[in-house]
Amino acid sequence: MPEGHTLHRLARSLDDAFGGTVPAVSSPQGRFAEGAARLDGSVLERSWAHGKLLFVDFAGGRTLYVHLGLIGKWFVLPVDPAGHEPPATGQVRLRLLSDAHVADLRGPMACQVVDEAEVDRLVLRQGPDPLQPVSDLNDPDAAYRTITRSGKTVAELLMDQTVLAGVGNIYRCEVLWRHRLHPLRPGKTLKRASWQLIWDDLVRLMPFGVRTGTIITLDDVLEDTEAALARGEEPAVPREFAVYQRTGLPCLRCGSVVRHKVVAGRNLFWCGNCQRRT
Query: Which residues are annotated as catalytic?
Result: 2-3, 52, 266
Q: CB-hemisphere CA count at 13 Å for 193?
A: 2
* Residues forming beta bridges with residue 135, ordered by sequence position: 138
Rounded Cα gap, residues 129 and 179, in angstroms: 20
Q: Specify burial of residue 146 (Cβ count, 10 A radius: 0-12, 13-18, 19+).
A: middle
The half-sphere exposure of 233 on its side-chain side, counting CA atoms within 13 A, is 9
H-run or E-run covering 155: helix 154-159
The answer to whether 12 and 50 have CB atoms below 8 angstroms apart is no
Find the radius of gyration of the CA atoms of the chain.
20
